[in-house]
A and B are shown apart, each in its own frame.
Chain A
Amino acid sequence: QKEVEQDPGPLSVPEGAIVSLNCTYSNSAFQYFMWYRQYSRKGPELLMYTYSSGNKEDGRFTAQVDKSSKYISLFIRDSQPSDSATYLCAMSGDYKLSFGAGTTVTVRA
Chain B
Amino acid sequence: DAGITQSPRYKITETGRQVTLMCHQTWSHSYMFWYRQDLGHGLRLIYYSAAADITDKGEVPDGYVVSRSKTENFPLTLESATRSQTSVYFCASTRTLTGSNEQFFGPGTRLTVL
Contacts and interface: CB of A to CB of B under 8 A. Distances in A.
Nearest to A36: B105
A96 B43 contact: no
B97 to A, nearest CB: 5
Interface in A1-56: 4, 6, 8, 32, 34, 41-46, 49, 51
Contacts of B92: 43
A107 interface: no
Interface string A89-107: 0001011110111100000
B40 A32 contact: no
Contacts of B107: 41-43
B9 to A, nearest CB: 9
Nearest to A89: B42
B48 interface: yes
Nearest to B103: A97
B84 interface: no
A30 to B, nearest CB: 11
Contacts, number: 53
Contacts of B100: 32, 34, 49, 51, 92
A88 interface: yes
Contacts of B74: none
Contacts of B99: 32
19 contacts: A32-B101, A42-B108, A43-B92, A43-B105, A43-B106, A43-B107, A43-B108, A44-B43, A44-B90, A44-B105, A88-B42, A95-B48, A96-B45, A96-B58, A97-B101, A97-B103, A100-B42, A101-B41, A101-B42
Q: Which 10 residue pairs of A and B lie closest in terms of their CB atoms, listed nearest first? A: A43-B105, A101-B42, A99-B43, A99-B42, A49-B100, A92-B101, A95-B97, A32-B100, A44-B105, A46-B102
